Amino acid sequence: MSIFTSKAARGHYSLSALALSLCLSGTAFADNKSADTAPTVPPITNEKTRDALPLEDLRTFTKVYDHIRRGYVKDVDDSKLLEYAIKGILSELDPHSAYLDASSFDDLQMNTTGEFGGLGMEVGMEDGFVKVVSPIDDTPADKAGIEAGDLIIKLDTKSVKGMSLSDAISEMRGPKGSTINITVVREGKDGPFDVVLTRDTIKVKSVRTRLLEDDVGYVRIAQFQIATGEDMADAVQTMLEENPELKGIVLDLRNNPGGVLQASVAVVDAFLQEGLIVYTEGRAPNSEVRFSASPGDITHGLPLVVLINDGSASASEIVAGALQDHKRAVIMGTDSFGKGSVQTVIPISDERAIKLTTALYFTPSGRSIQAKGIQPDILVERARITAIKPRSRITEADLSGHLDNASGSKESSSSDRIAKQAERSDELFNRDNQLFEALTLLRGLHIFGQHSQVSAQTIAKAAGDSSTDTDSSELDEKP
């Protein structure tokens, strides 16, 4: 059964079992308990494409294993050694493949519901350290000023070097109210610095909306959860009903680490009339899946600007890439993160599983997202904008004996303009220049659209008048 009740759940989607299972930053749950009818991924058994296991290498492994279990300074039981071996294999494949114990698997599933315990940041591994992909809105990490791109090198007194990603995450998780000291390295800072964070129950509100200056809709998606597609569609429809004169919509995906694949598909589908949204390719028999849009644009073609940055990953990149390929939105900001791979969670026992990279995402035009990301149509770096104070120049309104405004409008003197600029010191362009640029672009598109409409009406009227004049003269010439 479908897990969506937005446009997707109104009878338009028929998802395969694997498609239903693709979730959590491109993760596919292959556990029947956690995803409706989701199958495990069968092993590749085509002997023509796979050589026999390398016996000499296996003998080497068993020799090393035997030396460790007999000669290591501490006694480690066999099950632990084998678990370490599995972790080592997976960690060497890529940053997203991992071994999951019972706790890690539960955490993975909790993320899809939007409620979990911890610090509130999406992380990965880079050069043996934990790298922050993005902090989650309104969480301890976000409030403490943790930024996308930060490297965490120490957790309390423990060095992160040598830890697996799952071990590092376990260290960062803990009871609500407990504290942890993290040591951070940030580009542009002279050296490492410490940040003390208080753990909390992280409840991520996936979709938030508001109006920008009363005529542009703002939709912020912090993370793609199971219900994000439905929540966004409902929020946008409510906004349109309450504000029928909207000039456009800004969809903010900055620092969105991704999430449920089907949620990203539903978000794109809400803005498209038709066409391919995303497809995956891999070696496993059922790793190739295609998602297409169903008829109906909930905004009826309103101009759309999508904001992205280097913290926009996975599902966020699927949305930006699809809307960009279909020329449905202007993508603005900076290059996205570049996570274009699909992970499949494969149970190996009642309490253990592996998260294995099994496929890659491609945009409708065939672009691979992996390690490249989505490049914006309009590059806008995040910056602090400071307005240049006007020089003490007089205006026409300052001149003694000047003529009054012919339309009766309020005059604009130099003192009025200086006072207005002082009032605007805390306006949007100072707080968020990228969002300000998106708002300006949408206003420009609306004005251009109005001009085009007026021009078309003028041309049509002129053509009609010309046709009438021609017909009349032809009638006059008739005997």
N- to C-terminal Cα separation, the chain: 77
Q: Which of 154, 247, 339, 355 is catalytic?
A: 339
Residue type at 214?
D
Torsion sign, CA atoms 86, 88, 91, 93:
negative
Say whether 414 is catalytic: no
d(C-alpha 373, C-alpha 265), whole Å: 17
Q: Which of 314, 316, 336, 341 is catalytic?
A: 314
Q: Which of 34, 269, 325, 341 is catalytic?
A: 325
**Residues in Cβ contact with 21 at an 8 Å cutoff, skipping those fewer than 6 apart:** 28, 29, 30, 35, 38, 39, 344
Angle at 269 between CA 448 and CA 259, to 5 degrees: 115
**CA separation, residue 246 to residues 214, 219, 328, 435, 442 (Å):** 8, 13, 17, 17, 10
Say whether 339 is catalytic: yes
Say whether 292 is catalytic: no
b/e sequence 103-142, b meaning 16+ C-beta within 10 Å? ebbebbbebbebebbbbbbbbbbeeebbbbbbbbbebbbb
Residues classed as catalytic: 314, 325, 339
